[in-house]
Structure 1
Amino acid sequence: PNIRRVRDELESSLGAFAGHFVRPGPSGAPTRGQADILPTGRNFYSVDPHKIPSPAAWEVGKKLGDILIARCLQETGKYPENIGIILWGGATMRSKGDDLAEILYLLGVRPVWQPGSGNVRGVEIIPAAELKRPRLDVTPRISGFFRDAFPNLVELIDQAVRMVAALNESPETNILRRHVLQDLDDYQKQGLNETEAWREATFRVFGCPPGTYGAGVAELVESKHWQTQEDLGNNYIRYSAHAYGQGSYGKQKPAIFRRLLSRMEVTVKNEDSREYDMLSCTDYYNYYGGLITAAKTVRGELPLALVGDSADPRRIKIRTTFEEAKHIFRSRLLNPKWLAGMKRHGFKGAGDLSKMMDVVLGWDATAEVVDDWMYDRLAQKYALDPEMQQWLKEVNPYALQNILDKLLEAISRGMWQASAEMEKQLRDAYLSIEGEIEELTE
């Protein structure tokens, strides 16, 4: 079977280094049933951006939208005023546009595919009688890679927003239009003409400045150059308040972005594969945790933060970020089999465990998703267990030092109410490993 031909990866790499031809092949996520991607080891191409979202992604996006709305109604009893959603380029390539499809569906529009080519030529309004719910207000925060790889999709979202805002519908059935009309009046009072005010009121796609990448939160967390959540939230806003759409390629619009954040009652980031999760790397809390804390900075309270799971398109799920964090803690971080697998990678495995602790701290700093019991279990399993301590000292003592440092930082910032005995054990362990590292470097 093609799944067994993983050796092709090594052979193809050696062939490429030798200047030989490497057979091309499609890309995506085999875990989602895309069997045509196998065997791996081919010179993969990504996607045709004009075919996004695909019809299959549209169906997944609708399901994601429906379960998000259902969870919002369950938790709050009403439709949200504004939904913030993270839009990444890599996930768009793998899923062929699940997240984009969800955005369009929440707005109350659907893609129009060109017969024959399958290209998306635009969007059309879903009739209110068919939609059977209000059209919602959505603010996508795009990554720098999405901006660069999919400018046509940025235009598509912008087009959809302007179409929905222009509909002659009641404020109850078109939440986006209600907000646009409110803002239109405010901007005209500030001296803008009607055309300028309409454009300002309909900006919804935001990201980092042109030519740059990131969200400005991970840098502060990793360097410890922050005191409060507001520091993180305000820096996220500085990085992210750049509007994309007709007439604006990354123009700085902090007042508009803050206005949208003030209404952002719900946030979501979807996962299209269980190969990755919110604790896999710093990008997750940098982009998504940053959005959550930015909304709190402006609103004064945390939004309902959700994680959609479309890894199995037949069984789409949704959890809060706290529920997702607990799920990952139990299934991966505290799983002895997973830990044994990491140990087999020696220095690199220890380094990845250390980075994982950075991510845990970043998520708690931004979204407050780590309970005391989680810190307790991490400390016992990764920092204070004699066998683990010895292994880390042998393969990568710097990893142990960083793990201890992050746990102590969580205590010092009041994020973890550790017992006095636990804190003493961690401080003693830190001083011990610090002394051993000094001896190694002398």
Structure 2
Amino acid sequence: ERLASGAFTDRAELGQAYLDAASHAYGGAEGAARESGGAFSQRVAQADALIHTSDDAGRDLLDGGADVAFVGGFAAAAALLGKAADLVMLNTADPQRPRARPLAEALARLVHGRVSARFIAGQMRHGPRGASELLETVDRLVAFAETTGMVASDLMDRLHDAYLGDPEVRAFLLRENPAAAREMARRFSDARRRGLWHARRNDLDHDLEALAAEARTAGVTAEAAE
């Protein structure tokens, strides 16, 4: 929730939230929970790597919020405890050919697919829902940047150019789902404000503000027409 709303000060706060949420042990006849913060924090501080497995070929790291909450939360917690653990994504969708990749490489591969003309055209055929899917891609990538610091600015540039730099896609977002367009502008702005994205364009911040204003106007117009 903190990631989605942007209601946090820094990465350390996210790391502490992860430790607070995960630091419980369960046992006894009723399976009652008890706080076990010290033990869990010690394990995180001792970890050299996190290996995150995925066996579902139909979803990836940028689908839903579970992966970024777990992987990103761990990375933020480890950093808080003075540890820089390796983050390894292990794809076991084909048990005979498991593929292990560092998080940065895994994200780069996913972004490459999601800026393709074929992927974008497919989402545009789904109207408002497709616009929400494009937003989800941006939101999850920014969340990985906020929690791990392992998202290259080039990936942000590529998403922005494909979704907002293309006049046709930008118009689609504003027409079909102004709320998604406004939220996309906010999440890109979050990355800029937190120093996680050093964009190629000098006028980017102004452009994101303009998009947010356009989206607000489009949203009001759409509501009035209903």
The normalised TM-score by structure 1 is 0.48
8 Å CA contact 2:181–2:211 kept in 1: the answer is no
In the alignment, is residue 242 of structure 1 matched against residue 15 of structure 2?
no
> Which of residues 408, 424, 433 in structure 1 aligns to 2:206?
424
C-alpha contact 2:131 2:173 (8 A) present in aligned 1: yes
Percent pairwise identity: 23
Aligned to 1:380: 161
Q: Which amino acid aligns with 1:426?
A: L
Equivalent AA in structure 1 for residue 161 of structure 2: Q
Q: Determine if contact 1:383/1:426 at 8 Å carries over to the other structure.
A: no
The answer to whether structure 1 residue 302 and structure 2 residue 96 are counterparts is no
For 1:345, the aligned partner's letter is: H
Aligned mates of 1:349, 1:266 — CA distance in 2: 35
What is the 5 A alignment of 1:264-413? 264-298=47-81, 300-331=82-113, 333-413=114-194
Contact 1:233/1:291, CA 8 A, preserved across alignment: yes
Larger Rg: 1
SS in 2 for 1:267: strand
Question: 1:383, 1:313 → 2: CA distance?
Answer: 38
Q: Secondary structure at the match of 1:420?
A: coil
Partner residue in 2 for 1:223: 5
Q: Which digits, 9 at most, give the CA deviation of each residue in 1:269-316, with x for residues without a partner? A: 101122111111111111221112111111x24210101111111211
Any idea what the Cα deviations from partners look like across 1:130-154, whole Å, max 9, x if unmatched?
xxxxxxxxxxxxxxxxxxxxxxxxx
In 1, are the aligned partners of 2:71 and 2:87 still within 8 Å (CA)? no
Query: Whose helix proportion is higher, 1 or 2?
Result: 2
Can you list the C-alpha shifts for 1:67-96, whole angstroms capped at 9, x where unaligned? xxxxxxxxxxxxxxxxxxxxxxxxxxxxxx
Instruction: Supply the distance in 2 between the matched residues of 1:223 and 1:428 (Cα, whole angstroms).
Output: 21
Shift of 1:422: 2.2
Contact kept in structure 2, 1:325 and 1:369, CA below 8 Å: no
Q: Which amino acid aligns with 1:222?
A: A
Q: Which amino acid aligns with 2:7?
A: H
1:233 matched to 2:15? The reply is yes
Name the CA distance, whole Å, in 2 between partners of 1:316 and 1:441.
49
- The offset of 1:245, in angstroms, is 5.2
Partners of 1:301 and 1:330 lie apart in 2 by 30
Q: Partners of 1:249 and 1:278 in 2: how far apart?
A: 32
For structure 1, the 5+ residue unaligned runs are 1-218
- The one-letter code matched in structure 2 to 1:284 is D
Distance 1:295 1:341 in 2: 38
**Residue pair 2:62, 2:140 contacting (<8 A) in 1 also:** yes
The superposition leaves residues 199-249 of structure 1 with CA deviations (integer Å, 9 ceiling, x where unpaired) of xxxxxxxxxxxxxxxxxxxx1111211011110000111100002357874
Give the Å deviation of 1:424.
2.3
Task: Report matched runs for 1:35-74 at 5 Å.
Answer: none
Task: Point out 4+ residue stretches in structure 1 off by more than 3 angstroms.
Answer: 244-249, 438-442
Distance 2:205 2:157 in 1: 10
Distance (whole Å) between structure 1 residues aligned to residue 152 and residue 169 of structure 2: 23
Contact 1:293 / 1:302 at 8 angstroms: preserved in 2? no
What is the match of residue 42 of structure 2?
259
1:382 and 1:367 mapped to 2: Cα distance?
Answer: 23
Report the alpha carbon displacement of residue 370 of structure 1 after superposing the two structures with TM. Answer: 1.6
Please say if 1:434 is aligned against 2:205. Answer: no
Is the 1:401–1:433 Cα contact (8 Å) retained in structure 2? yes
- Map 1:122-137 onto structure 2 (within 5 A): none
**d(CA) in 1 for partners of 2:218, 2:176:** 13
Q: What corresponds to 1:136 in structure 2? A: none
Give the deviation of 1:430 after TM superposition.
2.1
Structure 1: how far apart are the matches of 2:28 and 2:45? Answer: 24
Tell me the distance in 2 between the aligned counterparts of 1:352 and 1:368. 23
Whole-angstrom distance in 1 between the partners of 2:108 and 2:128? 27
Distance 2:192 2:221 in 1: 28
Larger relative contact order (CA 8 Å, sep ≥ 6) = 2
Gap change, CA 1:439 and 1:394, over 3 Å in 2: closer
Q: Retained in 1: the 8 A contact 2:75–2:84?
A: yes
Contact 1:354 1:399 in 2 (8 A): yes
Structure 2: unaligned runs, 5 residues or longer: none
Instruction: Give the letter for the 1:307 counterpart.
Output: M
Where 1:296 maps in the other structure, the secondary structure is helix
